Amino acid sequence: MGTVVQCGVDLGQKQDPTAIVVAEVVKREGKYHYLIRHLERLPLNTSYPTAVDRLLRIGQGLAEKKVKDVAFFVDATGLGQPVVDLLREAGLSPLTAVYLTGTDKASSEGRNLHLGKALLVSRLQVLLQSGRIHLPQTAEAGALVDELLNYEIKVSEDAQASFGAFKTGTHDDLATALGLACWEEPAVVEVVPNPFLDKEGGEDAWPDSPSHRLARQHSSHPLHQRWAKTHFCWKCYQQRTKE
């Protein structure tokens, strides 16, 4: 069994940038975890042909790394359909076109997925709260956390819910791309240990190693400080932003 990778893409152009999230999917104790390997936002006003070229290069890069099990989930809502058409014509596959709706339901027809934003958001919340999304410690990951903190649910007078970042100057493109990358649970996925590597003592087994549990628990302990250099710790991030 090889590496399983899922890419979520939220297309933008003038008001919001195009966001790309690449997640490696692994299975631990019977549950799927999503290790975010890459986050990227293209500059505002990036043309759709340029966005297509970037996605093709990501697909090519994964192929060069011998990653055979790759799936792309691209937001085709609104103006996204032409981009999906271009990507399919260029041979990027498998590609699922995602049409976000105002419902709480999901339905698929071939490689087209009609996905309720409420369902996408609720799944993302469950994965985050259960610690099954693992973010890198990068600037883009910090921007993603900010988006999640600014994410809101608004209900209109006619009981219609809308989801997103509504404050002036805020975005939700990375959050949407993350939700798309983590939407599907593969039928077959490789079971791997925790990527934390103890360079002095070798790699401990997941999840029974006391050193792993100590490293992942937020504290001033040297093991956690080493772990936090290559893994995202929410409390460490909050401490840094307050300094």
Q: How many CB atoms lie within 10 A of CB 119?
A: 17
Q: Six-digit token pair at 132? A: 């099954």
> pLDDT at position 187, please?
61
The answer to whether 14 touches 45, Cβ cutoff 8 Å, is yes
Do 198 and 142 fall within a single domain? Answer: no
pTM over 0.75: no
Tens of pLDDT along the chain (243 residues) come to 468 999 999 998 667 889 999 999 998 888 999 999 999 999 988 988 999 999 999 999 999 998 889 999 999 998 788 999 999 999 998 999 999 988 878 998 889 999 988 888 888 888 888 889 998 888 888 888 877 776 655 444 554 555 444 343 445 789 899 999 999 887 644 444 444 433 333 333 334 445 555 666 667 766 667 666 655 566 665 565 554
Residue type, 104: D
Do 119 and 232 fall within a single domain? Answer: no
Do 235 and 186 fall within a single domain? Answer: no
Between the CA of residue 71 and those of 101, 164, 165, 173, 241, what are the distances in Å?
A: 21, 25, 27, 19, 34
Do 61 and 170 fall within a single domain? Answer: yes
Do 146 and 235 fall within a single domain? Answer: no
Element spanning 24, H or E: strand 19-28
List the domain range (segments joined by +) for residue 84: 4-192
